[in-house]
Structure 1
């Protein structure tokens, strides 16, 4: 049940204090705000380990580096201003393929990663998020 916060991205308003939540408020346009089965603070579901993520400085889109469990690292994306309900698929998927050993499942509002790559040695490396690069010095980064 998505009342637990593991594997979720939260969206909070830290400029509004002294609320029912304490020192922050929940934005009124959070996607799950009216769903009694999902915590109001949740902005996205289905992340395994979003080790780092950042805002695109040009348009405020969100790019998420999500560490896989065994075989695949993935990059997830969320458009700036989006209030859609989003599930990035973890635990049903690790990257594009279904997670081995997990019964068939079809998460509601599933959004696949925009990019994945294999991790041949998951004990020694992992994806990490960073800034969107639009420079000219490293054209392969485009």
Structure 2
């Protein structure tokens, strides 16, 4: 088990880079830097996508795969305007608690807890491609080149 964990940790190092653009046909099976950039994106089409750690095959199988077709906008779906690490760590849990308390029915309450951010934002918060349109790129600090 520890060996598997270490292999996974080493693999994560290279997929967090912009230096490697493609690995050819291996991209059909393995998670790549491009696939992982999508995972961290707040663009509407990239929410809740590319969860695989080493194998992207699982995302293809379960319908959560998305290619990097446009530049990825990194960040949070809602800018929280702080660099305080404690606030950053607690912010999403606080927001989920507020959303659950404000929800009109049990379906929505449970959905806020168990579904991904793509559902919550497009259905109720009006950002990340919901009622107010796509995420505003200027609200984020970094994008890919």
State the TM-score, normalizing by the size of structure 1: 0.26
In terms of fraction of residues, the more strand-rich structure is 1
State the TM-score, normalizing by the size of structure 2: 0.25
